[in-house]
Amino acid sequence: MAGDNGVPMPAAQMQIDSVGLSFGGVRALSGISFNVYPGTIQAIIGPNGAGKTSLLNCISGLYKPQQGQIRFEGRNLIGLAPHEIARLGVARSFQNIELFRHMTVVENLMLGRHVHMRGGVISGGLYWGAGKREEIVHREFVEQVIDLLEIQDIRKKTVGSLSYGLQKRVELGRALAMDPRLLLLDEPMAGMNSEEKEDMARFILDISEEQRTTIVLIEHDMGVVMDISDNVAVLEFGQLIAYGTPDEVKAHPDVIAAYLGHQHAAH
């Protein structure tokens, strides 16, 4: 981490500040605070039910936390509708693939361009002049994403007919088509074989390095997490139990306890 060796800490791109969320009597998140720095890959790990996806849902506006603030580039996201948060440059993928199944790959990615386009019902229906040019300009952008993710051969296929691994990749593509400043990935490698995982890790690193997109990543595969992330936040029972570089987190006694049980931690 930058602060350690005297280099000034960069300003946080997103500040999660004592976020608390409960459903009725169940507390899903309590007092979560950490910063996400621009251009980094921030992993969130933790056992099942720790509140990782709930935290992501708070960031993208699907859940409204009762306490705390989430400031993205200085703006509090809490209280904004999901589509308004998307417009600020936050994109995400889902744990269970949430693609538009009856549309083609290109159409799914074109939907990722929605926030950058302006055409309405009338300009779309006429499909003439500026309305048509806009579609073509954004199609060119979508083709760049298709090239990056190496899905040229399936661009006209209906998404519902694709394999699981490809669907995951298309979902990443749809988020990328938004040209986001913050990319939230909820278990992008779940259920993949090791080859598919390698591909996905490569794409995530490409995105991080070439486009300097900040990435927040939930993942269960510890090998991947420790390899590619800059910072790791560990959640357990809705609380942040550790935060730091992969090496710091790996050595943290609470993390070892959470993953391996208390006896191991004592040794």
Partner 1 sequence: MQSGTFHSSYSSDMGLRPYWPMRLRIILVIVIMLVFPWFAGRYWLNLANTIGIAAISAIGLNILVGYTGQISIGQGGFMAVGAYTSGLLAANAGLPMWVSVPIACVVTAVVGALFGMPSVRLKGLYLAIATLAAQEIIIWVLTHGKILGIGESLSLPPETSNLFGLSLAGSTDFNFYWLIMGCLVLTVIFVSNLFRSRAGRAMVAIRDQDIAAQVIGVDLFRYKLLAFATSSFFAGLAGALTAHYRGIISWERFTIETSILVLAMIIIGGLGSVSGAIYGATFMTLLPALLSNVSRAASGVFPSFSSYLPYIQQGAFGLAIVLFLIFEPEGIVKMWRNVKDYFRLWPFSY
Instruction: Identify which of residues 143 and 254 has a Cβ nearer to partner 1 in the complex.
Output: 143
| Ramachandran angles phi, psi of 195, nearest 5° | -65, -45
| Helix (H) and strand (E) counts in the chain | 11, 10
Q: Is 87 in the site for partner 1 (CB under 8 A)?
A: yes
Is 60 a binding residue for partner 1 by CB under 8 A? The answer is yes
| Near partner 1 by CB under 8 A: residue from 15, 17, 20, 100 | 100
Question: Which residue, 105 or 232, is less far from partner 1 as judged by CB?
Answer: 105
Is 178 one of the binding residues for partner 1 (CB under 8 A)? yes
The answer to whether residues 104 and 156 touch, using CB atoms and an 8 Å cutoff, is yes
Lay out the site mask for partner 1 across 143-162 (x = CB under 8 A, - = otherwise): x-------------------
Cβ atoms within 10 Å, residue 133: 10
Compose the 117-146 pattern: x for residues touching partner 1 by CB under 8 A, - for all others. Answer: xxxxx-xxxxx---xx-xxx--xx--x---
In eight-state DSSP terms, residue 104 is: B
Task: State the DSSP string of 172-241.
Answer: HHHHHHT--SEEEEESTTTT--HHHHHHHHHHHHHHHHHH--EEEEE-S-HHHHHHH-SEEEEEETTEEE
In a 3-state reduction of DSSP, which class is residue 254? Answer: helix
Is residue 179 near partner 1 by the rule CB under 8 A? no
Choose between 1 and 111: whose C-beta lies nearer to partner 1.
Answer: 111
Residues near partner 1 (CB under 8 A), total: 45
- Per CB under 8 A, residues contacting partner 1 are 60-62, 81-83, 86-87, 91-92, 94, 98-103, 107, 110-115, 117-121, 123-127, 131-132, 134-136, 139-140, 143, 174-175, 178
